[in-house]
Structure 1
């Protein structure tokens, strides 16, 4: 009856993507420049990854470090560039100076997605009011996932919030899948699964050599086993 939990892995290039798929990843998040917590990759990289694997991938729409949208016209251009490279799913999230969702930027970008599925990323963990943000975004086309650690500091700090929000699944503003990422460790998995959370996102955890190294098939496979109940 139940489907297996989704494992999403950050990929910086085609080598990462192939390794992630081989290890059992269900989906990729494509970014560049992890020193800035992940920005929009080059279109050539997206095209190369799309050609290398057949699992779904979501492309980051983020032009600079931080959670401000920046130049919205450039974001719109990025949407078309990424679509031209084969992207059909996306990741985005913008806050204003008060920590509230920047609805102007979100709606401008989402209008260009033309119904594509997308994730609101960890900007939610920096929001002044998480519940207000979710309710403001309720009904925005294509939004099916929140990538969150529950708190800006990571899953250790945010676990109570994640468990609480999981319990509200189905309420207005809470229909989307919770994709847990940000300081996520294997030891967190059993409690999150028990709460009904079925989305998990890893970046550094898939890279034993750190961000300078590639995704490890063995590391991804270890997470796959844990999510499938083998831990």
Structure 2
């Protein structure tokens, strides 16, 4: 069995996607409007990227900035449209007014996904009780990953949390894979890898010239090389 780590890169368009795959990305997280922390792409953008690359795509289900679900019927409709276009992996995460998971919203969207695999994104880093959130979501169909920095402030602060959660792998609520992202730097990798974490997510790190420039295949290749 290979111990190759998974490298996921944020892609906004076809140019990003092609460069990320060329650099060695294993999977893309597809979003639009990064100024709003990443919203759902259009069906047309998904279709264009799907045609341009052959690595897995996880597609964001999010229609508004922040971590509230907002228009739930609209979200379900977005999920339905993307699935009709061929999307089969997703990213989502909604919190209620008190900061805990919005189970009604997550369950409604997960039901529309009908068993497709999905990531609960960094909303977990805003939840007051991560353990409660994990246990509340543990039985939802398709949930296989948490994208997390361990802290809303990023990996520098969240590292102890990430290491502690990795040590609980397999316990109730801790079966999903940890995908580390959010202020992740190359210097964090040795300690995270030593803890058994094997999935990493980059956005800005794949764009050394900033978000108004496309993904750099060379930057992705540097991460691929560091991960082995």
Q: Distance in 2 between matches of 1:149 and 1:188?
A: 11
* 1:210 and 2:210 correspond: yes
Q: How does 1:179-218 map to 2 (within 5 A)?
A: 179-218=179-218
Structure 2 equivalent of residue 148 of structure 1: 148
Distance 2:33 2:72 in 1: 20
Secondary structure in structure 2 of the residue aligned to 1:100: coil
> Alpha-carbon deviation of 1:85?
2.2
The yes-or-no answer on 1:167 pairing with 2:186 is no
Does the alignment pair 1:121 with 2:125? no
TM-score by length of 1: 0.98
Counterpart Cα distance in 2 of 1:193 and 1:85:
36
1:63 alignment counterpart: 63
* Other-structure match for 1:91: 91
Deviation at 1:84, TM superposition (A): 2.1
CA distance in 2, matches of 1:120, 1:98: 18
- What is the CA–CA distance in structure 1 between the aligned matches of 2:125 and 2:2, rounded to whole Å? 28
1:110 & 1:68 partners in 2: Cα distance?
A: 16
Report the alpha carbon displacement of residue 83 of structure 1 after superposing the two structures with TM: 1.1
Cα-to-partner distance string for 1:145-173 (whole Å, 9 max, x where unaligned): 00000000000010000000000001010
Query: Quick check: 1:52 aligned with 2:52?
Result: yes
**Alpha-carbon shift at residue 81 of structure 1 (Å):** 1.2
Could you tell me which residue of structure 2 aligns to residue 104 of structure 1?
104
Counterparts of 2:108 and 2:115 in 1: how far apart (Å)?
13
Deviations 1:172-196 (A, max 9, x none): 1001100000000000011100000
Question: Which shifted more, 200-209 or 77-86?
Answer: 77-86
Q: Secondary structure at the match of 1:178?
A: strand
* Structure 2 gap segments, 5+ residues each: none
Quick one: distance in 1 between partners of 2:209 and 2:48? 23
Partners of 1:15 and 1:80 lie apart in 2 by 26
How far apart, in 2, do the equivalents of 1:155 and 1:177 lie? 17
Q: 2:100 aligns to what SS in structure 1?
A: coil
Deviations 1:37-89, CA, capped at 9 Å, x for gaps: 10001111000000000000000000111000001100000001111222110
Distance 2:155 2:98 in 1: 24
Equivalent position of 1:19 in the other structure: 19
- CA shift for structure 1 position 208: 1.3
Cα offset, 1:207, TM superposition: 0.5
- The DSSP-based 3-state class of the residue aligned with 1:22 is helix
Residue correspondences, number: 228
